Structure 1
């Protein structure tokens, strides 16, 4: 798939980028992204990423204003129904409960909408004083007007955040898998660096990083590795990393100084809770074997390694990191649950978003989502047309990686909002 940098640069003015909770992360760039799938605008055979709209541009759309009015009306209707049903003797408890839940969900949104409307009225009243003959009064009116404008902008940000529904998987932890791709030993060395980058990213956020698998190569790289990552919003912040990562550099094994291109793949699997996902014991085949690879006297002496096969789907998970068979079984089950849950989510998402041309976060192996170019000291995220510099700092898994993920989340939120507005327009039509 050929990618093009978006031709529309984002506005750079104060507070102009659509950001729900990540404005502080945008330092050197303010561009594009997506939710678990990046919607793109197609122009002929090429592909152009859509521009990230500012808050003011979004609120200038009549479709958004209509949608907010719809939310207000729904809130008023539900609140009235709750009050009416509460006084009736023969009321439908299920319907009453559903209305109460809807009122609690819409309450914060409607409150912010009405606060914003109130501030607009204050501005109208204040602007009448700007024509007064008293210079001191005009100055006070101007200060009041600027204050109201700032509050309106903050309320708009808050409203946009409240409009974005929380994805079920966003509340989960995750299982991370990295696998060396094209490029032999160089690909394995890069895979090892990327795995370390994500461990640094987890430490940066205070998450736990528990290695499940770690298959090394002859010269210290990684063939394949997986880890369980747990912490607040861990899946939500990591989901955009899934896909093919490409590296361009002179390998350690290269004697003539030529630049090579290698790849590795990343899979980010949401880890379900016991409540949200159940696996039946009768559907599992559990095999034990002796561990292989580095490990001293423990290796090849005890049957501590565990492989679990989910018979209905053929999905396999294994672990040999621990000396204890019981602990390896627990870790393998965690990985298996994540794989099966991810399959379930992908099936649901494909039904809902079957019009999307690109899937990000669903392990689309054919798409190179990011290039790490060492000679030019740059990292380019092809989904969002964004380039940042300082590869070594990026691979620490701290601020630069956080910046790109913030931008991806912002564009994802905008895409979600556009889908909501599109659905609303279709219903109105």
Structure 2
């Protein structure tokens, strides 16, 4: 399939964005600036792949011509290079087709991540804390920024729940596949008989919403201020700084207490509420997706068991793509990039197939 015309249109658009990016007025409108920078980064990657495709095509043509050269040595060298070049080209063409797919809504946004202990009592709370540490390590290794928005610690250690913001390049696109039920199989430290216990924690990854995405009307909100509780220092325990917001039309409730002030907690709670409502809207749109894609990316549903962490066998299995890694010791320390890339690749291939079927 010849994409040259479409690529030239993308190149023209990239030149327009390049002028905008170097303009001194770029940040006059911060929201528009973010959109411009996101599109600029996407097109830069696409054109890089397209240029590499064209270079390989030219090299293949040249080598085929040289392979029939009168100089036997030159012909032999050219012929020897052909198999590697011919193998590389289809891989690049596939990447190009995927890059040409229109971006999905929200994929370039930052993410709000919520982790909650599920079934399993104390062990579930400890596992929730392990998952949070895993994402912290992943963020550190990939130049992402984490901002804790709210926490609730368990009495005997671990976390009942934690909500944090994860920001950086393409965060939601990478992290969205973490939504669902994570199951752990291991021997708890308190287990005298050495029996393996199964516990769960749930993860929900929401695209961070902006004010223009979701309008929160004050008449639809019930905002209450109360005394913060739990660990956090003297200031947290002695001031009425915790904020709870009820969104009356949906019944959704958000509570924040980790901020340094009542105002900061209110802003964080509103930010989380917008993201949850935006996720509801996104979930409705995903009902239109194919059954395969819904099974793969899910909807952040806490009933969907997506992954099992088996400590005795040092393996982690993602049930959506039937991928098993026998390196749980590294995985739980944040080395999750291989799994994320496999999930992203599977999703992109299905999108490409869906697009070809609709064409």
Which TM bucket (shorter chain)? 0.7 to 0.9
What pairs with 1:354-373 in structure 2 (closer than 5 Å)? 358=295, 360-373=297-310
- TM-superposed deviation, 1:295: 3.7
What pairs with 1:206-225 in structure 2 (closer than 5 Å)? 206-225=143-162
Contact conserved, 1:291 with 1:303, CA < 8 A, in 2?
Answer: yes
- Post-superposition Cα deviations, 1:273-319, rounded to whole Å, max 9, x if no partner, equal 33433323332221111112224544553221001111221111110
Using a 3 Å threshold, how does the CA distance of structure 1 residues 317 and 358 change in structure 2: closer, same or farther?
Answer: same
Contact conserved, 2:286 with 2:294, CA < 8 A, in 1?
Answer: no
- TM-superposed deviation, 1:378: 1.2
Contact conserved, 1:75 with 1:107, CA < 8 A, in 2?
Answer: no
Q: Does 1:265 align with 2:202?
A: yes
- TM-superposed deviation, 1:359: 5.2
Structure 1: which 5+ runs fail to align?
1-67, 79-104, 425-429
Contact conserved, 1:243 with 1:360, CA < 8 A, in 2?
Answer: no
SS in structure 1 of the partner of residue 67 of structure 2: helix
Q: Does 1:240 align with 2:177?
A: yes
Structure 2: which 5+ runs fail to align?
11-41
Q: Which residue of 2 aligns with 1:305?
A: 242
Hey, what's the Cα distance between the residues in 1 that align with 2:271 and 2:348?
Answer: 29
Hey, what's the Cα distance between the residues in 2 that align with 1:402 and 1:76?
Answer: 33
What pairs with 1:378-417 in structure 2 (closer than 5 Å)? 378-397=315-334, 399=335, 401-417=336-352
The count of residues paired between Structure 1 and Structure 2 equals 329
Using a 3 Å threshold, how does the CA distance of structure 1 residues 264 and 288 change in structure 2: closer, same or farther?
Answer: same
- Deviates further, 155-164 or 250-259: 155-164
Contact conserved, 1:267 with 1:361, CA < 8 A, in 2?
Answer: no
Using a 3 Å threshold, how does the CA distance of structure 1 residues 162 and 265 change in structure 2: closer, same or farther?
Answer: same
- TM-superposed deviation, 1:141: 3.7
Hey, what's the Cα distance between the residues in 2 that align with 1:389 and 1:151?
Answer: 29
Contact conserved, 1:384 with 1:408, CA < 8 A, in 2?
Answer: yes
Using a 3 Å threshold, how does the CA distance of structure 1 residues 75 and 252 change in structure 2: closer, same or farther?
Answer: closer
Using a 3 Å threshold, how does the CA distance of structure 1 residues 228 and 128 change in structure 2: closer, same or farther?
Answer: closer
Hey, what's the Cα distance between the residues in 1 that align with 2:44 and 2:312?
Answer: 53
Contact conserved, 1:176 with 1:267, CA < 8 A, in 2?
Answer: yes
Q: Which residue of 2 aligns with 1:418?
A: 353
Select which of 105, 116, 130 maps to 1:168.
Answer: 105
Using a 3 Å threshold, how does the CA distance of structure 1 residues 230 and 355 change in structure 2: closer, same or farther?
Answer: closer
Q: Which residue of 2 aligns with 1:130?
A: 67
Q: Does 1:346 align with 2:283?
A: yes
Contact conserved, 2:293 with 2:347, CA < 8 A, in 1?
Answer: no
Using a 3 Å threshold, how does the CA distance of structure 1 residues 356 and 113 change in structure 2: closer, same or farther?
Answer: closer
Using a 3 Å threshold, how does the CA distance of structure 1 residues 231 and 292 change in structure 2: closer, same or farther?
Answer: same
Hey, what's the Cα distance between the residues in 2 that align with 1:410 and 1:355?
Answer: 14
Contact conserved, 2:296 with 2:321, CA < 8 A, in 1?
Answer: no
Hey, what's the Cα distance between the residues in 2 that align with 1:327 and 1:294?
Answer: 18
Hey, what's the Cα distance between the residues in 1 that align with 2:43 and 2:330?
Answer: 42
Contact conserved, 2:245 with 2:254, CA < 8 A, in 1?
Answer: yes
SS in structure 2 of the partner of residue 331 of structure 1: helix
- Post-superposition Cα deviations, 1:151-179, rounded to whole Å, max 9, x if no partner, equal 73574255234223222211111111011
TM-score, length-normalised on structure 2? Answer: 0.80
Hey, what's the Cα distance between the residues in 1 that align with 2:43 and 2:135?
Answer: 37
- Deviates further, 153-162 or 223-232: 153-162
**Larger RCO: 1 or 2 (CA < 8 Å, sep 6+):** 1
Contact conserved, 1:270 with 1:338, CA < 8 A, in 2?
Answer: yes
Hey, what's the Cα distance between the residues in 2 that align with 1:406 and 1:156?
Answer: 18
TM-score, length-normalised on structure 1? Answer: 0.68
Hey, what's the Cα distance between the residues in 1 that align with 2:236 and 2:139?
Answer: 29
SS in structure 1 of the partner of residue 238 of structure 2: coil
- TM-superposed deviation, 1:120: 5.2
Q: Does 1:230 align with 2:167?
A: yes
Hey, what's the Cα distance between the residues in 2 that align with 1:153 and 1:306?
Answer: 55
- Deviates further, 160-169 or 142-151: 142-151
